Structure 1
Amino acid sequence: MDARRLSTESSSGESSPILSNFNSATSLILVHDDEEPLSPFDFPNDDEDVPESPEFEIRRPYSPPMAPSLVFLYLLSPYLKLGALLLPNTQLPLKYGIPPLIIFAVLSAFSRQIWYMLARYMRKADLEDIILDAFAHGRGKERRRGWLRTIVRGGTGSLRVLLSVIYLRESVHIILPLLPEDLTLPPQPVLTLVCACILLPLVTAQSLASKRVKYVTWTSIVTYIIWFCCVAVSHANGTLEINPGWLRMGAFWQGITTTAFAFTSSSTLPLYASLKAGSPSAALSKSPASRSFRTLSSLSVAVAVGFTLPLVFFTARINGAILQDPAPLRLQPAVAVLNSLTLLLAIPSVLVTAPPLPIPERIRRATTIPLSKYLTFALVLALSLVPTRIARILSDVLLACACASTFFLPALIHITTHFFKRPLAIIMPQMPATPNPYAQEPEPTAADELLQRKERALQRRQWRKRVVWDVGVWTLLLPVGGGGFVWGAGRLAGKW
């Protein structure tokens, strides 16, 4: 039987408890061996059966309680957007198109699992908190924490803005060839303003749980499925044509990199926090399989593969003509409209999760208008009207940032946390950082030695179970991340 101490004093305010004195006078409880504590990497059949710590931190306003069906929606939605819409234009042979799609789908699910395990291990559900704990934890690092906090918020906001800019820009440009040529007003700015008026009441929603955001996101999934059916029919008739948006992308948008972008996502931690916040009595009862984050994540990737893998087959027979209708069945206008709607309706769910701008508190208190959301949307609107050569640079930056945040960043944090930092205690909390110098040192007892042996045994057990994950993480960091960096540098230098 194992002994656990009830003393949970903490000198730093962190979620890890502190065991102040090792002596036999401390109250003990007895835990049977079949109920021994599980480490964050010691998964049962359903890892959500392990109750979360009551000190698990859910603090961000864009992580409200959400039902599993809604979490599944936002886990699936990023996969059925721009990257998937451009897949039929990559023109990769099947032997070079199918393996990358399967590999990046698996890597995307693996990356989400890494984020999930980091959140459980650190007892935090926010990217900013996890990065600060990984790279600036401890005393005397206030300045580094300030810089890191600014970098994380700026990087997260920039990624959301860039994604919205490309979505809005492409949704407008796809419709332009369908408009009459004798218009008196310039069609692009006018159509962009019309789309902005439609989006304005949607992007000012408070969170992903808002009904407005939920309905438009479901609608974007439906429009993608209808687009997928139209593309399949066009391919069967031999009339599938190149999406003109493919020709406006930057230098990084090649076959394999577009496939990688199709499986990028950026809201894993907020969605996990929302799922845990929406679980009733999570600390008192076991969660069903429908509330397992790992199950929902794997299911979303599987559904995404089902709706993207056939697109790779379509690339083998695609016409070089652009927006022409040689066949009696005129599906190209419908394909263009559905493509545009899918991107346009995806913008609210992207911008809602953007961090707020650093507006002075005096100004924020003077009005109830969400100034940060309006200013962010105004920035998106302005950048969507930039010239094509600048838009290509923005699209390249978007692809690089999206792939780095999805595949490279979780691997880097995992390695930093588990290879260069002291592991967190499992059953024996850490000693206080500043013990009382006048306190008399008690003699260790048999119970203390038992706890220490059990702690070492559990740490070794955790390390053995983490070996497979470590191999996968190093694969993400070196062959995928490092190889992608070398390819990008060579692409910019014109080597290939």
Structure 2
Amino acid sequence: MDLPRRPSTESSSGESTPILSNFNSSTSLILVHDDDEEPSSPFDFPDDDEDIPDSPDFEIRRPWSPPMAPSLVFLYLLSPYLKLGALFLPNTQLPLKYGIPPLIIFAVLSAFARQIWYMLARYSRKADLEDIILDAFARGRGKERQRGWLRAIVRGGTGTLRVLLAFIYLRESVHIILPLLPEDLPFPPRPVLTVVFAVALLPLVSAQSLASKRVVYATWASIATYFVWFICVAVAHAQGTLEINPGWLRMGTFWQGTTTTAFAFTSSSTLPLYTSLKAGSPPSGLSKSSVSRSFRTLSTISVAIAVSFTLPLIFFTARMNGVIDPPLRLQPAIAVFNALTLLLAIPSVLVTTPSLPIPERIRRATSIPLSKYLTFTLVAGLSLVPTRAARVLSDALLVCACAGTFFLPALVHITIHFFKRPLSIVVPPELPMAPSPSASAADELLQRKERALQRTQWRKRVVWDVVVILLTGLCTCIITE
């Protein structure tokens, strides 16, 4: 699914040539078929290393996503996979034949979903989720009100997902640590511990972007604590002392074995990370992007590493070993590193949360990031809700995360490529696609070239259409399970 390429406006002699719309009937335009070239394969997808055409639509959002090095983009691509879903995998207790295939399938589908977002961004020349959805469902004149509603829905949905995710992280961190505290404390431990964790996180959640050093260090630390937790779980399994995480029993009814595996491979920051990677790349034409700057490569590596550190957890829960005497007391360490992994992931989740609709007069009156503080206050307040309400919210989180990761890109892909007119490749927008009696010979040949290229793009997209159907079907099965 290549982006439409602009016809060259420079001749070989360096002089400017007339634009296509100024061609007259005497212009010589020949459609040449390269018979020596091999036919394009349906699997010959566009290369991520190609430069993105200069487009105001693509450039306008770049300041919102700061330029980031490939290492940071890789960090944020990997981080969501090693969080709550992965921490719950040892509790699913699925047999190997029911545990391994779903994990591999959802890992592959997660990579495909990211690739679909990447190709949609390149195809539509939009670098923001709002713009892509508006372009898919409310493109054209006379739809200003529809675009306003859609923009509010997208921002509200994105904010709700991130608030629910941060709320579950904070709540589970508190509940994991509570059993380690003395029972005769003179104060209620749960609200006090929630306030302590919230105050400790306050300097981190007030960062401006994912490129902030505070957020970067916290995210790296979150991955490091997950690796330590993974080692402790492996040792506990070898000793036969691995226990079920109590948080698993507090989750909602939707949290079963397969749905938890699907949640482990959900993510919601694909487009901002792609934009940041491209914003940090050399300007177009100066140098060819290296493999390390390929978004597809970084995404694939992140999924592969995530599978490497989640697949063994399926073996741990399916094959329990006998107790070796004397065992090491690893359960407190497992709980501590579990809580740290979730706590340190909260800043990267809340930093990308859309701002609250605070009046401009109030925002200009202070330099304090009121929106971020109010959002974090909401997260801390939700973490104190009763268990029954928390279960409902955890079910809502699972549905929103799976739908946003697997179903939404498939829906946008279907809408753009099945119900919208394809973007032109070589024909200027002012030139009609269908030949007319008054069309010049040059225009007719240009339209033949356009139709030939469109057929080639259609053949390339067939495989991704199949992937989209699979994503839609699997997401529906997850939600209705």
TM more than 0.5: yes
Displacement after TM superposition at 1:250 (Å) = 0.4
Distance in structure 1 (CA, Å) of the matches to 2:443 and 2:285:
28
Aligned to 1:404: 403
Q: CA deviation at 1:51?
A: 1.1
2-structure distance, mates of 1:185, 1:300: 43
Counterpart CA distance in 2 for 1:21 and 1:193 is: 68
The answer to whether the 8 A contact 2:107-2:303 is kept is yes
- Number of the residue aligned with 1:483: 477
1:327 Cα offset (Å)? 4.9
Counterpart-to-counterpart distance in 2, 1:345 and 1:219: 7
Distance verdict in 2 for CA 1:109–1:259, change over 3 Å: same
CA distance in 1, matches of 2:248, 2:478: 21
Write out the 4+ residue segments of structure 1 that deviate beyond 4 Å after TM superposition. Answer: 18-22, 24-35, 324-327
1:286 is aligned to 288
In 2, Cα distance between the equivalents of 1:290 and 1:480?
Answer: 32
What is the aligned partner in structure 1 of residue 387 from structure 2?
A: 388
Query: Could you say which residue in structure 2 is the equivalent of 1:52?
Result: 52
Q: Taking structure 1 as reference, are residues 266 and 325 closer, same or farther at Cα in structure 2, changes over 3 Å only?
A: farther
CA contact (8 A) 2:116 2:413 kept: yes
Aligned position for 1:170: 172
Question: Does the residue aligned with 1:315 lie in a helix, a strand or coil?
Answer: helix
| Contact 2:114/2:270 (<8 A) preserved | yes
Please report how far the alpha carbon of residue 486 of structure 1 lies from its aligned counterpart in structure 2 after TM superposition: 2.7
Superposed CA deviations along residues 361-383 of structure 1, whole A, max 9, x for unmatched, are: 11111111111111111110110
1:470 aligns with 2:475: no
- 5 Å matches for 1:344-363? 344-363=343-362
SS in 2 for 1:280: coil
* Structure 2: gaps (5+ residues): 11-18
Separation of aligned partners in 2, 1:294 and 1:213: 24
Distance 1:264 1:350 in 2: 13
Query: What is the aligned-residue identity percentage?
Result: 78
Aligned partner letter, 1:341: L
Q: Which residue of 2 aligns with 1:332?
A: 331
Question: Quick one: structure 1 residues 296 and 358, their matched pair in 2 at CA, closer, same or farther if it must change by over 3 Å?
Answer: same
Once the two structures are superposed, residues 147-199 of structure 1 have per-residue CA deviations (whole angstroms, 9 ceiling, x without a partner) of 00000000000000000000000011000000000100100111111101111
Distance 2:440 2:431 in 1: 19
Distance 1:197 1:21, change over 3 A: same
Unpaired runs of 5+ residues, structure 1, are 8-17, 434-440, 488-496
Contact 2:100/2:311 (8 A) holds in 1: yes
Q: Which of the residues 450, 454, 457 maps onto 2:452?
A: 457
Aligned to 2:441: 446
Output the TM-score relative to the length of structure 2: 0.90
Indicate the SS of the match to 2:7.
Answer: strand
Q: CA RMSD in A?
A: 2.9
Cα distance in 2, alignment partners of residues 6 and 191 from structure 1 = 65
Q: In the TM superposition, what are the counterparts of 1:236-251 in structure 2 within 5 Å?
A: 236-251=238-253
Q: Give the SS at the match of 1:181.
A: coil
In 1: Cα distance, 2:246 partner to 2:62 partner: 39
Q: How many residues align?
A: 461
- Residue 119 in 1 paired to residue 108 in 2? no
Q: 1:5 to 1:274 in 2, by over 3 A?
A: closer
Distance change (3 Å), C-alpha of 1:232 and 1:58 = farther
* Distance in 2 between residues matched to 1:31 and 1:73, nearest whole Å: 46
- Give the letter aligned to residue 172 of structure 2: E
Looking at structure 2, the residues matched to 168 and 380 of structure 1 have their Cα atoms a distance apart, in angstroms, of: 8
Q: 2:239·2:321 contact (CA, 8 Å) conserved in 1?
A: no
Aligned residue identity for 2:381: A
1:97 alignment partner AA? G
TM alignment of 1:55-454, pairs within 5 A: 55=55, 56-59=58-61, 62-318=64-320, 327-431=326-430, 443-454=438-449
Mapped partners of 2:108, 2:437: distance in 1: 52
Deviation at 1:42, TM superposition (A): 5.7
CA distance in 1, matches of 2:126, 2:148: 18
